[in-house]
Amino acid sequence: MHEEKEQKIGKKRKTYKSFRETLKVCKDAVDSRWNKLQRNKDLLKPQLTWQFNSHLGKKGISGNIKVSYEDKTLSIEVKMPQDATNSAVRDTRGLSGGERSFSTLCFALALHNMTEAPIRAMDEFDVFMDAVSRKISLDTLVDFALEQGSQWMFITPHDISMVKSHEKIKKQQMAAPRS
């Protein structure tokens, strides 16, 4: 009986040792990722703002993105060119629907610049935009998609005839739904 218990204890110790080794590998992987995050987070914040401003600039707008890892917040400030007070809109609810849609699109593209994905989709990104903003947005999206070389799907209820032609662009427009 003593020998039987010794064997059981031996098996439990081997299992325990195996679990501890696996746990150590997982802990080392988490520590490595944490260290990379700490190293990269200060480099990624200005890159995100720069990309955001680059896209906003196509419409003459400027902005800033503030990321606080400590508070776990992200805030977007947008400065409209027609604003004579030189004050930035700190709450995107202060923007018109089209301005908000365009700013959100620019933020999404800034994030897309920093990540890799073979297929991406944008759904109804231009719903609240006027015709000029829609054209600028579509041109921005198509140029971005062509530069990135990834596949994109743009889903919109609006006319897409204004999307420029290119050998890599395939447009599909569904028939309007019946009333």
Q: Strands 151-155 and 119-123: what pairing?
A: parallel
Whole-prediction pTM: 0.70
Beta strands in 23-102 (DSSP E): 62-68, 73-79
Digitized pLDDT (tens) for each residue of the chain, 179 residues in all = 999 999 999 999 999 999 999 999 999 999 999 999 888 888 888 899 999 998 888 888 888 888 888 898 888 888 877 654 556 666 667 777 777 888 888 898 999 888 888 888 888 877 778 888 888 888 888 888 888 887 888 888 887 777 878 888 887 777 777 75
- Which residue's entry shows tokens 């040792």? 17
Where is 173: in which H helix or E strand?
Answer: none
Instruction: Name the nearest CA neighbour of 134 among 151, 156, 116.
Output: 156
